[in-house]
């Protein structure tokens, strides 16, 4: 039987291990994601989005930094207690210095990003909650990184997460996303075990095509500088939500 999202205790997400394995250095794959997304964000006027959302924020700050170039407010919506505590600490105390190279790259690729890391995080509000419960048409832009395919082992539930992601944006709003490609069930740290739903560009296109216009899906190869989680790379998406979604 597959593991579904509600089968998992997300309060136990191993924040420290996840950061250590993935974000204490700027890896080539994340640099590629930042470059891809920055090209999309540069097409939007600075500060033109009244309110955007990071859909299942986790402890990853670079999507929040990217969104700061176009957003007057960024809601970081997250359900796990450890992730929420980490995000709040980054905002209210000070962000970890390991995020500085991420900010530097984001700003170099999009000068609309505020010139300090603290300034880039200033529009962020941490919201604890289930992303599936976000009201339809709330945001002008939604961003999602490694969430839908890492929340379940069931492709139907993966699609439900993607539909909730698109639905929370106004018709004609913007979507920016990254997915792990062919991600199996995986391990973080020495013991923890987490669900994965293997998806590829075709899966992503099939889910989002009915929901969007101007859909662009591409991929990058796996990154040998990261732990081997069993994935084959990343799938990247930008789109505009359809007028009827």
For the cut 90, the answer to whether the pLDDT of residue 186 exceeds it is no
Q: What DSSP character marks residue 137?
A: T
Mean pLDDT of 40-47: 98
SS3 content of the chain, % helix, strand, coil (to 5): 40, 25, 35
**pTM beyond cutoff 0.85:** yes
Continuous segment of H or E residues that includes residue 239: strand 233-241
Mean pLDDT of 39-56: 98
Q: How many whole angstroms separate alpha carbon 195 and alpha carbon 234?
A: 17
Partnered with residue 217 across adjacent β-strands are 237
Q: How many whole angstroms separate alpha carbon 201 and alpha carbon 218?
A: 7
Interval 70-119: pLDDT, tens: 999 999 999 999 999 999 999 999 999 999 999 999 999 999 999 999 99
**What does the pLDDT read at residue 245?**
43
Q: Are 118 and 43 in contact (CB under 8 A)?
A: no
- Burial letters for 128-146: b for 16+ Cβ neighbours within 10 Å, e otherwise? eeebbebeeebbbbbbbbb
Interval 172-184: pLDDT, tens: 999 999 999 999 9
Mean pLDDT of 30-42: 98
CA distances from 17 to 12, 65, 83, 152 (A): 12, 22, 12, 20
Instruction: Give the mean pLDDT of the chain.
Output: 96
What does 31-87 look like in DSSP terms, one character per residue? HHHHHHHHHHHTTSPTT-BS-EEEET-TT--HHHHHHTTTBS-EEEEE--HHHHHHH
Mean pLDDT of 65-70: 98
Q: How many whole angstroms separate alpha carbon 135 and alpha carbon 56?
A: 15
**What does the pLDDT read at residue 244?**
59
Residue with tokens 């176009």: 70
For the cut 80, the answer to whether the pLDDT of residue 239 exceeds it is yes
Partnered with residue 187 across adjacent β-strands are 193
For the cut 50, the answer to whether the pLDDT of residue 120 exceeds it is yes
**What does the pLDDT read at residue 27?**
98
User: How large a percentage of the chain has pLDDT more than 70?
Assistant: 99
**What does the pLDDT read at residue 187?**
86
Q: How many CA within 13 A on the CB side of residue 49?
A: 30
Interval 145-156: pLDDT, tens: 999 999 999 999
């Amino acid at each position: 039987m597959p593991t579904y999202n509600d089968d998992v205790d997300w309060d136990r997400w191993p924040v420290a291990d996840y950061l250590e394995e993935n974000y204490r250095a700027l890896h080539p794959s994340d640099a590629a994601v930042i470059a891809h997304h920055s090209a999309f964000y540069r097409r939007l006027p600075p500060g033109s989005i009244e309110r955007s959302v990071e859909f299942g924020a986790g402890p990853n700050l670079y999507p929040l930094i990217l969104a700061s170039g176009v957003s007057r407010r960024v809601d970081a919506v997250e359900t796990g207690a450890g992730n929420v505590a980490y995000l709040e600490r980054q905002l209210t105390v000070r962000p970890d210095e390991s995020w500085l190279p991420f900010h530097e790259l984001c700003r170099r690729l999009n000068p609309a990003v505020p010139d300090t890391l603290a300034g880039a995080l200033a529009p962020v509000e941490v919201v604890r909650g289930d992303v599936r419960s976000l009201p339809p048409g709330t945001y002008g832009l939604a961003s999602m990184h490694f969430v839908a395919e890492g929340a379940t082992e069931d492709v139907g539930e993966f699609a439900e997460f993607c539909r909730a992601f698109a639905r929370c944006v106004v018709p004609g709003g913007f979507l920016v996303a990254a997915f792990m490609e062919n991600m199996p069930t995986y391990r973080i740290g020495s013991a923890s075990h987490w669900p994965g739903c293997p998806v590829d560009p075709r899966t992503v296109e099939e889910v989002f095509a009915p929901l969007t216009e101007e859909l662009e899906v591409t991929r990058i190869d796996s990154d040998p500088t990261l732990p081997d989680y069993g994935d084959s790379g990343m799938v990247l998406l930008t789109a505009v939500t359809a007028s009827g979604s």
